[in-house]
Structure formats: C-alpha cells, structure tokens
Structure 1
Amino acid sequence: MKKNDPVVVNAWCMYDWANSVHALVIVSSIFPVYFSATALHASGTPETNFLGLQIKSSVLFSYTVSFAFLITAAAVPLCTAVADATGKKKTFMQFFCYLGALSCMGLYFFTKETLIPSIFLFGLSLVGWSGSIVFYDSYLPQIATEDNFDRYSARGFSMGYLGSVLLLLFNLSMILAPGFYGITDKALPARISFFTVGLWWILFAQIPFHYLPAGTPTREKSGNWIFNGFKELAGIYRELRRQPYLAQFLTAFFIYTMGVRTVMYVATLFGATELKLPSQSLIITVLLIQLVGIIGSYTFAWLSGWIGNIYALMVGVSIWIGICLGAYYTTEAMEFYFVACAVGMVMGGIQSLSRSTYSKLIPEHTSETASYFSFYDVTEKIAIVTGTFIYGTVEYLTGSMRNSILALLIIFVIGLVLLSRIPSRKVYHFGLEGNKN
C-alpha cells in the first residue's frame, strides 16, 4: 500500500486517541483511587480479603497488573504469528480491543460486594489493551517510511494524551459536581467513568478499523493455523538471532521499561498511600503528566533527529534516574507535582521513541511486522510483570513504597549502561549498513 498517506496515518493515530483513556482513567487516575477506597478492610485498614488471603490493596493492584501482562506475554506471540500467516492482523486487533473495552464497561458494577470479579475484569481490561497495542504498533512500518517513524509515533502518543485528558475532564466534572448531573450516589460517577472508557474506546477505534489494511497472508492456506503460527514464530526468532543490535536494543528496552511502566501503574497509589494526598491532588497530578506528555513526545522526536535515537533514549533514562531520586525524598504535594511534570516530559517521549527505534531496526521489507512486534510487545509485558512484581514484593517485605523506588532506580541505571553499549549512529540489518538510530 501507499506509505505516508495522511488519511491512513491519521486514522492509525486515532487508535492512540481511542485506547489511551484506559491508561489514564483505569490505570493512572480514577480507578486506582476508587480501588483503594473500595478494597479497604471493614476495620479501615488498607488490607483486603482476596480469595482467602489478607493483602494490602496496593500490593493486590500491583500483582493483578503483573498477572494480566503475564497472560498477555504468553498469548500474544502465538496470536501475532497466526495473524501474519493468515493475514488477519486487524481481526486480532479488534478482538483484543473489544475484550478490553467491554471489561471496562463491566467495571460499572464494581462495589465491595463484587470486588473479586471486578479484579478479574480489571485484569482482562489490561490483557485487551496490551494485546491490541502490539497489532497497532506493527502497522507503523507498514504505513510509513522510516524517516517518518519518530514523527508519526510521537503524533500518536500526543493524540492519545489529548483525547484521554478530554474524557478525564468530563469524568471529573461528574465526580466533583454530581448534583449537576442529578447523581446522588457518591460512588456512581466513578463507576460511570469506567463505562465511558469502554464506550469511548470502541467508538473511536472504528476509525482505524475502517482505514487500516486488513493484512495479507504470508503463507498459503494449508495445515493448521496454530501449527503454522508456531512455525512462523520460530522463524522470526531465528531471524532475530542474526541481528545483534536488535537483540541488544530489546535487552536494554526490557530493563528500562521495567521502571517506566511500573511508575505509570503505581504513581497514583504512591501519592495516595505514602504521601496521603487527597483524591483531587492525585487527579491534578495525572492531568499534569498528560499535558506535559504532549510536549515531551515531540521534544524527544526532535531530540532523536538531532543526536540520534539511542542518545535520546539515554537522555530519557538519565532523567528517570533523577525522577526516582526526587520521588524517594518527596514529602509534600508541591514536590510531588514537580516530579509528576518530569515524569510527563519523559514518559510519552521514551515510549514513542522506543517504538520508532524498534521500527527502524526490523528488516525494512518484511511482511511479518506483527510477528516482529510480538517480540517487542512480549519484552515490554514481561518487563511490566517483572517490574510491578519487584515493586510489590519490596513493599511487601519492607512495608514502604520508598524502598521500591530505590529498586526502580537501580533498574534504570542498569538500563542506561546497556543502552550505552549500542552503536548510536548506525544500525545494521543482517550485517549490512542501515539507517540512523
């Protein structure tokens, strides 16, 4: 298909607009606050009974994220291999999208009495979101030329930030002024917010679903799809082993993503649990992160054009090290806001740049982009599983989230060292000189 088509590119970016409300409302803002309040023990302690176990709500939240992404990491590689082999990439993307969106809608029924099924719905929403993202990301090298990867990737993240802020502002208006909407139940606005996330996600996803190509089978229709999927996956793995710089990047990406994504999932809980900040302060923090994130995405796209992708990523990881140090010593709301602004500046930028850097590293003319991106996605999901598990375990053993932050700091330092070992001006495809990274 014709690359750099403005209609197709903008439609692709609209999936960021559609799905990012999940990351903002469900993962980062309203749901964690509602979850912490709803999961409180009858005695008022921050512990809850989950399947017979007494566990802190913040630890349960972290472990739910870990388990959900573990499921995704196991399922997605096979799905992407089958998608490439059969040409059904868009179909798989739609399946995971609807799974996540409908799970969000189901959270409308989240109360103290429905805690256990709601935890499972939260986990399924994460599976749906993360599963759809791998197919979404895999379209980038298919719809754009390499010189536009950084710019289009940043545009997608920026649209995601903007769209999610718009929906969050509407949801906040219900939470802060329920009487204006004729709502008397204090818990109802938050539950309606969860439903609107699923509705928003499904409705705006129809734009990319309409314009993105369905995909072309890379194999003849013979044999079992699942068996062919395993063969496809094994073939991609063999190709990855022939590309040392791609393997080095995935290793570094795995390490620093442990820190990045863990911060995304636990930042609100840190403010609520460790700093005892009120809900309004936490929501303001999340809005700051989103708005600054728009600037950050484009800043890192510009920076990569100036000093190269690897050096730009090293700058981002270095800032994350400073963020961890700042968060460890944070005790006041204003300090928390300052750290949040720094998080917003690098959060979207480093994710956007990681996606575009990987797009540059995969073979230029491959038709198996979904399978290649499955390795990227699995690396990211296992990183999330590992990071959130480490964070939750350190808190469980020491009783303090601040010690967990120190563990993340060490992770970022290791990631920076690994990035520094990757050539920063040129990459090589199958031993041949390639393009700038």
Structure 2
Amino acid sequence: MTRESKRIYGWALYDWANSAYATTVMAGFFPLFFKAFYSADTDATLSTAQLGVANAVSSIIVVLLAPLLGAIADAGGIRKRFLLLFAFLGILMSAALALVGKGQWELAAFVYVLGNIGFMGSNIFYDAFLPSVTSEDRFDKVSGLGYALGYLGGGILFALNVAMVQQPEWFGLADAAAGVKASFISVALWWMLFALPFVLWVKEKRNTRKIGTVTLTVLGYRRLMRTFHKIKHLRGLFLFLVAYWFYIDGVDTIIRMAVDYGMAIGFEAGDLIKALLLVQFIGFPATILVAKLAQMWDTKKAIYLTLGFYVLIAIMAAFMHDVSSFYLLAAMIALVQGGIQAMSRSYYSKMIPAEYAAEFFGFYNFLGKFATVLGPLLIGAVALATESSRAGIASVAVFFVIGAVLLYMVDEKAVAEEVRGAMR
C-alpha cells in the first residue's frame, strides 16, 4: 500500500470508527433508553424536552467553539491533536453512559452532552484533513469513501447492538437494559480501535516554532477575525455557504419529519430501528455511486441530482400513510443522504486554502449545526395557513429549490482563486 493510500484509508476509516456513536448512541438507543431507563419516572413530554435541551446545548457549544478552535489549530499546526482530544472525550463519555443508573437523567444528559461535543468537535478537524490527504481531483472519491465507510461501519456495529438488545441471552447479558449498556461500551471500543489507522497513517505538518498556549490562542483569535472579515466580502464562497445552509436545513428537516411521522402513525420502536438499519446499508453503496457520478460529471451536477431527489422525497412524504411507505421513504433518503453530505464537503474543499482548512470548516460546521431552524417554522406556518400538515411537509421542497438556485450562481474555480487571493 502506498503512502497516499494509507493516508486516504486511515482518514476514511475514522468515519467508520466514529459513525458508530452517531448510529448506536445518537440515533439509535440513547433517545429510547433515555425515556425508558434514565428518566423512567419522568413524564414523557418532560423527558422529550430534557433530551431536546441536551442536544441543543451540545450543538451550541460546538457552534461557538468551532471557528476559534479551527483557527488555533491552523495557526499552530495542531489539527490532529484537537481531533484526538475530542475523540477521546467522545469515547470516554460513550463508555461512561453504561455506568449511569436508572432514574439518573441529569447525569445521563450531562454525559451525553459531553459525548456529543466529542463527536461533533472531532468531525470539524476530520473534515479539515480532506485537502491534506489527497489531491483535489480525488476529493469527490475520497470524501464519498469516508461517508460510505461511515454508513457501513456504523451499520455493522448497530446490527450487532440490536441483536445484543433483542437477544441479550446470546451474549450472556441479563436483559435488554444490560444489552443497551454493553452497546455503549462497544461503541467506545469500536471508535478507539478503528481510529488507530488515522493516528498511525495520517500525518500533519507541525509548526516548527514553539508557541505558548496564550500566544497561540491570541494568534488564532486574530486569524479568525481576519478570515471572518474577509469571508463577508467573498461573494462566491458566501453564496455557497448560504446555499448549503438552505438545503442542509431541508435535509435535516426531512430526516426528523420521517421519524416524527413514523411515531405519529404508530410505528413500534422496532420499526424505527429497522428503518435506521435500512438507511445504513443502502447508504454505503449509494454514497459511493454518487461520488462516482460526481467524478464522471462534476461535483455540482451530483449535488443537483441529490437536490432533485430530495424535492421528490418531500412531495412523496406528504402522501405517506403506512409502514411500507415509511420504509420506502427511508430507502429513498438513504440513496442521497450520504451523497449530498460527501459532495458538499468535497465541493467546499475545492474552494478553500488547505492551510486554512480547519478554520474554514469551522464556519462550514457552524452553519451545519444551525440547520433545521427554518424548516420546522415553515412547516408550521404552511400547515396553519392551509390547515393541512401534509401541505406543510411538502413545503420543505422550497429549501432544496432555493439551495439549487443559489448554488447555480457559484463557480468553484473562480471562488477558489478569489479566496486564495484574499488570504495572501
């Protein structure tokens, strides 16, 4: 295996490693276990609010820290150190969830917030390594590989975890609750094990000058302010970020809408878990396919393809009535969810200087974490105006149309030249 191949696979396998947390903990078991175990004696509505606050707090903390930490990491050449620091936090907190007792919802929420910060924080620096591990002509392929391996790795461990919960006796576990706790520990071990290729194979050019912590923080802050001032005047890059905000808001709203719809129709928790597994295993080949299409055409056309698919999904979701249509919707989402995320990351990487990657991805993730703000508001407003919740759901298609129109005005090559000239 060549040195570049090691860098690429070491980088991509980190997605395989930490996607286990996103799938098993964030999307799979923690929300259900929080209601049934950690806040067992709490009103269901209140426990939903508690979980919502935990998710919001972790996102806000990462949003506020991301651009500054990115600037500090770029200034000091310590992106890898920051990634591993956040990864260690996520790994530790995932294992710690197994130690939280029944009814201790405050402690569970605290540990979960720290785990989310570790997961989301490490992803900022992970994304920022893409321009360093391969050449620009391979961004689409490598970015797609990362997301695809994330779906496969997260899906494999989640399938094992589902078996641990549904058939705990097969694994020598006392009951389903013990299966969930063992699953949280398995996520920590999986994340730690499969992060090793990144640690060993992905190198970073360090700053040879020794800079103190205070000095480095000041340098990072100044660098951030300089970039923020410039990014406001970089029309093309700003247009892409606004386009990304609109369509990612739509993507996240569709995902949450599907789950809410499933619960409203009366699906069992098992139905939702099956749908999640379906997304994982369809998402693996589908993301690779979208990346190949991007290489055959270009990245922007591949993003347009996924946006058109999401318009169709939003319209079809308005007519969803039963379990079979819910599974069909989950399969359709799986076809494009990884692709739109991977190609957006690749497209953005082509426009930013590699030496400022963590800083620029701080802004990118800043917008990503603020997604799903406008979508629910639009759904509510349209539903009230038309007295039809289905019309509200279909209205999400507007976000994909707006995103596509704004994206049309972006020329990545011209933007890349503009950005590099401004950052000199």
Q: TM-score, normalised by structure 1?
A: 0.85
1:411 aligned residue (386, 389, 399): 399
Q: Which amino acid is the alignment partner of residue 44 of structure 2? A: P
The one-letter amino acid paired with 1:162 is L
Q: Aligned ranges for residues 72-151 of structure 1 at < 5 Å?
A: 72-151=62-141
Alignment of 1:429 onto 2:420: no
CA contact (8 A) 1:101 1:202 kept: yes
Quote the residue 2:356 is aligned against: 368
Residues 86, 118 of structure 2: 8 Å contact kept: yes
Is 1:34 aligned to 2:48, yes or no?
no
- Match runs of 1:156-167 below 5 Å: 156-167=146-157
What is the rounded CA distance, in whole Å, between the counterparts of 1:82 and 1:432 in structure 2? Answer: 20
- How far off its partner does 1:36 sit? 4.1
Q: Letter of the 2:352 partner, please give it.
A: I
Consecutive unaligned residues of structure 2, counting only runs of 5 or more, are none
Query: Which residue of the other structure, out of 219, 224, 230, is the alignment partner of 2:221?
Result: 230
Tell me, yes or no, if structure 1 residue 333 matches structure 2 residue 323: yes
**1:120 Cα deviation (Å)?**
2.4
| Alpha carbons of structure 1 residues 249 and 181: separation in structure 2 relative to 1, 3 Å | same
Partner residue in 2 for 1:217: 207
Q: Which moved more, 1:109-118 or 1:183-192?
A: 109-118
Which amino acid is 1:296 matched to? Answer: A
Instruction: Give the Cα–Cα distance (whole angstroms) in 2 for the partners of residues 75 and 298 of structure 1.
Output: 32
Q: Does 1:202 align with 2:192?
A: yes
Shift, 1:181, TM fit:
2.1
Question: What are the equivalent positions in structure 2 for 1:347-366 lying under 5 Å apart?
Answer: 347-363=337-353, 366=354
User: Are 1:253 and 2:259 an aligned pair?
Assistant: no
Distance in 2 (CA, whole Å) between partners of 1:335 and 1:298 is: 25
Q: Is the 8 A contact 1:270 1:401 kept in 2?
A: no
Q: Which residue of 2 aligns with 1:19?
A: 18
Alpha-carbon distance, 1:101 to partner: 1.8
Change over 3 Å in CA distance of 1:245–1:189 after alignment to 2: same
Over residues 330-374 of structure 1, what are the superposed CA-to-partner deviations in whole Å (9 max), with x where a residue is unaligned? 2211100000001101110000001100011113xx422211221
Offset, 1:205? 1.2
**Partner of 1:184 in structure 2?**
174
Q: Note closer, same or farther for the CA distance 1:249–1:404 as it changes in structure 2 (3 Å cut).
A: same
Change (3 A) 1:433 1:134: closer
Contact kept in structure 1, 2:379 and 2:393, CA below 8 Å: no
CA–CA distance in structure 2, aligned partners of residues 72 and 112 of structure 1: 28
Q: Per the alignment, in what secondary structure is the counterpart of residue 46 of structure 2?
A: strand
Distance in 2 (alpha carbons) for counterparts of 1:22 and 1:407? 32
| TM-score, normalised relative to structure 2 | 0.88
Give the residue type in structure 2 aligned to 1:377. N
Q: What aligned pairs does 1:298-337 form with structure 2 within 5 A after superposition?
A: 298-337=288-327
Deviation at 1:220, TM superposition (A): 7.0
Gaps of 5+ in 1: 50-56
Indicate if the aligned counterparts of 1:84 and 1:371 stay in contact, CA closer than 8 A: yes
Could you tell me how far apart the structure 2 residues matched to 1:433 and 1:231 are?
Answer: 18
Q: How much identity, in percent, do the aligned residues show?
A: 30
Structure 1 residues 280 and 103: CA distance shift in structure 2, 3 A: same
Q: Deviations over 1:219-253 (max 9, x none)?
A: 77376222111111123224434532221111111
Q: Is it true that 1:379 corresponds to 2:370 in the alignment?
A: no
Cα pair distance change 1:257/1:343, threshold 3 Å: same
The 2-side partners of 1:402 and 1:190 are apart by 35
Cα deviation for residue 33 of structure 1 reads 2.8
- 1:303-348 residue CA offsets vs partner (Å, 9 max, x unmatched): 2234322232122122222222222332211100000001101110
- Distance verdict in 2 for CA 1:429–1:378, change over 3 Å: same
Task: Choose 287-296 or 302-311, whichever is displaced more.
Answer: 302-311
- Shift in alpha-carbon separation, 1:390–1:18, aligned structure 2, 3 A: farther
2:44 alignment partner in structure 1 = 46
- The answer to whether the 8 A contact 1:243-1:429 is kept is no
Q: Distance in 2 between matches of 1:42 and 1:93?
A: 38
- Aligned residue in 2 for 1:243: 234
Asked whether the 8 Å contact 1:162–1:294 carries over to 2, the reply is yes
Cα 1:63–1:404, aligned 2, differ >3 Å: closer, same or farther?
farther
3-state DSSP of counterpart to 1:217: coil
More helix, by proportion: 2
User: Which secondary structure does the structure 2 equivalent of 1:361 belong to?
Assistant: coil
| Equivalent residues of 2:282, 2:335 under 8 A apart | yes
Q: Which runs of 4+ in 1 moved over 6 A?
A: 391-394, 400-404
Instruction: Give the Cα–Cα distance (whole angstroms) in 1 for the partners of residues 375 and 178 of structure 2.
Output: 29
Taking the aligned partners of 2:96 and 2:395, their CA distance within structure 1 comes to: 35
Q: Which residue of 2 aligns with 1:53?
A: none
Moved more, 70-79 or 108-117: 108-117
For the residues of structure 2 that align with 1:167 and 1:316, how far apart are their CA atoms? 27
Q: Which amino acid aligns with 1:19?
A: N
